[in-house]
Chain A
């Protein structure tokens, strides 16, 4: 095989088939994919379950970062979008847009990482596609994944379900992913014991739903961070949310880098964390279930939902003041002022 991706790898001819046979198929091997038909045939849903569908495109730079890579992100992000609806993933698809000249070992590394993440989530990558564009037209590699999942009967999670009195829980430390990526940005040159938290959350979600099916909302605070995600939920549900600054878990290195760059960890992306909005009486049980899972060990109750100014999210600071947490405007950029 050549040592880098060529335009011909995307043309559907012999090189394309070589790429599938020698890179994708061995890594993703599963019965659904093995049939090599134009579409993958999925098993019937369990009785009472509803299908859920989600898709996302992944364009992260750098492709490889501490704690993960674009491949892991592409699998976990889609698995997590399904998990936030309580759906266990049934199958994923993966479409690649590769830049001519991408070193083949890089692709192999990405694909291996996707296989590993998919195995952690217990989901097959059942079908895919590859296109190749000219040098300079894609940042190395873009990946779009779609996922189908099954929402069990009796589970109804939605951003519109938050109710006054509910507890707001967070599964762990904030800002790890975004700041790990930021520390690798060209020119910033910070060395930090930071790693992306990118992980599939469907196992954690299953454990939480076993503790109680009465969870109202689950959402993962990705782009825009915790603050933006809570704003979305508050608006959807027509409620106000108040957070306790002292309760929000943040690693010292995340806090340190954020302070140096003038960034607020509440607005930084997370890829392995979730927010759960839970009726107050069930909060203890859900928290215990989270803490019993490897991905929820630092879980904490960080706030509450109240009736009030619909769509407003505020932070009760350690000094006892209230600060409004608006949605993120624009990009998160390092500042000097």
Chain B
């Protein structure tokens, strides 16, 4: 699912649930999700994930 597709569905769902105030917040979340997907460290799922030293 692309971020644009997800956003369209999320906005429609928020509207249906009577929470229109969520719409601008969802747009902010969509920008953050786009940023994650475009990050250079997320460009190749075959790359090893760095091990989280806290885990």
Co-complex (A, B)? no
